Amino acid sequence: MRNLSQKFLTILSRLLPVILILVFFLTKNAFSQTSPAIRQLIVEDIEIVGNKKTKPEVILRHLNFGVGDPIDPFVIDINSQRLSQTNFFKEVQFYTRRGSEKGKLVVIIEVKERRWPYFQFEGGHSDLDGWFFVPASLRFDNLFGRGSKMGARFLFGDKTSEFSIFYHNNSLFSGTTFLDVQLFNAEQRFEHYLGDLKTEQMVEFNGLRLKLGGNKGLFKYLHVAFRSETYIPESFFTTTNDSIIFRLPAIISRNLGKTKIGTLSLGLSGDFRDNRAYPMNGFWGALIAESSSDKSNSDLTYTKITLDARFYKELHDKKVLAFHFKGGWVDEDAPFYERFYLGGANSLRGYPFSRLTPLGGGTKLLLTNTEFRFPLTIRNFPYHKSSGVVFFDAGGIWMPGEDPRLEDFFASVGVGVRVKLPVIGLTRFDFSFPLNKFDENDFKVHFSLGHTF
């Protein structure tokens, strides 16, 4: 087993130089400086008015410009939006006035603070959670004017339900560090395939999640996290026609008892995309190593490594080639709810969710998504209304004892549209064809939110 793990790590390490070269070439534009435009207006000072409890540094932290930086209406727009979306303020208004010399100006940010807790409706979609809705979360954001976020919410979804209390402080140690704390009680539906038979199993879990990370300098690419959770899986599968299967495969039944999972993780992540709405150049990446052992108060001992990298390169006039790589490895002792899956709207799109996952989950995963993206409308670009995409997905998943081989890869091709809807935001429709025949399925439509990556 250890040999296989080493083989897998060897493959990953061989891929690493290729990834680094790709990073260099594809992100070259994101790092390069464009020649400064002649006669730019420069920020001489930033004044904040109307803030009674909010510390000025909380507002300044949400801006992506500072004193000495060039400014134009687009920068003001972006920053007005950034401050509005904190939900700390009822109103945010930017003004400017002449500075001490020609070409310099003073930016005035006028805010009206929100004074009372407020309710928020939330919703979304993910492969693991399915569609989920939060009818009302009670928020106490910026209660003491230091920019912290806290609240409580009930989440209901077709695969998951959860009650959680959360706290986010973005200004620890003079704003250099953030802290996330979440206490939760949840239930999630896992899908398993017994041959062609689709079954479901509910897993109840509750616990505490802590995450500590940096905001500034090199430290902003790092975070450490701790989670202490208790899992109680149902001891049976249900099928789509409500039959119940009590005799479960060994790989599932070995993790049926109440299990404490405690993990410590270290994450390295960076966002170098030129914009988030429609990235045209740049790179986003995250590498996370997670360890579960008795030292972290866990009943099971295993290690999990996940690498997720996304590259964007503008080919011609807002037409973008986007590439996503995800690789993962986890020890065979990891329970099924901590393992990898393959297939679905954010995975291999030619197949239903988790359809390609071996029973009990995979311990090695390789997934690539390649997309050619092109805007269908360009008004308000990059916040335009719609864009189209042609994509190719390929990936494989393996069980303990299996070597990753090229012939185990599955692939699919397809086309999609992304449309920006009021309230909901970017909504995507993907039409995908599997290239490797599996079941009777030869066409899959996915409806989800946001870009795939």
Partner 1 sequence: MRKFVTGSFILILISVTFPLLAFAQAGSEILVERITPGLSGDSLVVSADFKNLFSRKIVGTIQSGLPSIVEIQIKLFEGTKQIVRKPISRSIEFDVWEERYRVRSPDTTQVYFEFEQVKQAANRLMNVFLISKALLAATKNYTIQIRVGIIPISAHQANKVSYWLENPNQSEEAIASDNRSSGFSLNINKLVSFFVNKKKGSRFSSKWFSSRSFRLAELK
Specify the residue, 28 or 97, whose C-beta has the smaller distance to partner 1.
97
To partner 1, the closest distance from the beta carbon of 73 in angstroms equals: 4
CA atoms within 13 A on the CB side of 355: 22
Binding-site member from 56, 66, 103, 257 for partner 1 (CB under 8 A): 103
Residue 389 in contact with partner 1, rule: CB under 8 A: no
CB 176 within 8 A of CB 219: yes
State which of residues 99, 175, 207, 382 lies at the interface with partner 1 (CB under 8 A). Answer: 99
Q: What is the spatial distance between Cα 309 and Cα 369, in angstroms, rounded to a whole number?
A: 11
Q: Which of 159, 339, 444, 451 binds partner 1 (CB under 8 A)?
A: 451
CA distance linking residue 237 with residue 239, whole number of Å: 7
Query: In 3D, which of 135, 140, 191 has the Cα closest to residue 163?
Result: 135
Determine the size of the site formed for partner 1 (CB under 8 A). Answer: 72
**Exactly one of 17, 68, 195, 422 binds partner 1 (CB under 8 A); which one?**
422
What is the footprint of partner 1 within residues 50-69 (CB under 8 A)? none
Query: Residue 222 in contact with residue 229, Cβ under 8 Å?
Result: no
- In the complex, minimum distance from the CB of residue 102 to partner 1, in angstroms, rounded to a whole number: 5
How far is 451 from 435, CA to CA, in rounded Å? 22
Q: Are 348 and 364 a contacting pair, CB within 8 Å? A: no
Which residues on neighbouring strands pair with residue 205, listed in sequence order?
A: 186, 231
Residue 39 C-beta: closest distance to partner 1, Å: 6
Residue type, 186: A
Check binding of 81 to partner 1 (CB under 8 A): yes
Phi (first) and psi of residue 4, to 5 degrees: -65, -40
Which residue lies nearer to partner 1 by CB, 121 or 156? Answer: 121
Residues numbered 223 to 282 that lie near partner 1 (CB under 8 A) are: 265, 267, 269, 276
From candidates 5, 87, 182, 185, binder to partner 1 by CB under 8 A = 87
Structure tokens at 135: 């009818």
Counting contacts by CB under 8 A, is residue 449 touching partner 1? Answer: yes
Near partner 1 by CB under 8 A: residue from 30, 181, 288, 413: 288
What token pair was written down for 71? 């400014």
Residue 420 contacts partner 1 per CB under 8 A: yes
Choose the binding region for partner 1 from 12-20, 72-80, 185-193, 368-376 (rule: CB under 8 A): 72-80
Cβ-contact 46, 107 below 8 angstroms: yes
| DSSP 8-class letter at 415 | E
Return the range that interacts with partner 1 (CB under 8 A); candidates 25-33, 194-202, 401-409, 417-425.
417-425
Considering only the stretches 61-69, 80-88, 168-176, 403-411, report the one whose residues sit in contact with partner 1 under the rule CB under 8 A: 80-88
Residue 1 carries which DSSP code? Answer: -
Residue in 200, 299, 308, 408 binding partner 1, rule: CB under 8 A: 308
Q: Does 108 bind partner 1 (CB under 8 A)?
A: yes
Neighbouring residues of 12: CB distance < 8 A, sequence distance ≥ 6: 307, 327, 329
Please state the closest distance from residue 212 (CB atom) to partner 1, in A: 13
By DSSP bridging, strand 237-239 and strand 70-71 are unpaired
Q: At closest approach, how far in Å is the CB of 287 from partner 1?
A: 8
CB 31 to partner 1: min, Å: 22
Classify burial at 226, counting beta carbons within 10 Å of its beta carbon; exposed 0-12, middle 13-18, buried 19 or more.
middle
Cis peptide before 382 (omega within 30 of 0): yes
* Residue nearer to partner 1 on the CB measure, 88 or 398: 88
Binding residues for partner 1 restricted to 126-165, rule: CB under 8 A: 126-129, 132, 134, 136
Residue ranges in 17-46 that form contacts with partner 1 under rule CB under 8 A: 39, 41
DSSP element (H, E) containing 270: strand 259-271
Q: Which is nearer to partner 1, 269 or 436 (CB)?
A: 269
The least CB distance from residue 211 to partner 1, in Å, is 9
- Find the binding residues for partner 1 in span 395-414 (CB under 8 A): none
List b or e across 352-380, with b for residues whose CB sees 16 or more CB atoms inside 10 angstroms.
bbbbbbbbbbbbbbbbbbbbebebeeeee
d(CA 346, CA 352): 11
If the CB atoms of residues 66 and 425 are measured against partner 1, the closer one turns out to be 425
Report the C-alpha gap between 364 and 329 in whole angstroms: 5
Least distance in Å: CB of 160 to partner 1? 11
Sheet strands side by side (includes 70-71): 70-71, 41-49, 104-113, 89-98
Q: Does 450 contact partner 1 by CB under 8 A? A: yes
Q: Which of 257, 425, 441, 447 binds partner 1 (CB under 8 A)?
A: 425
CB of 164 to partner 1, least distance (A): 14
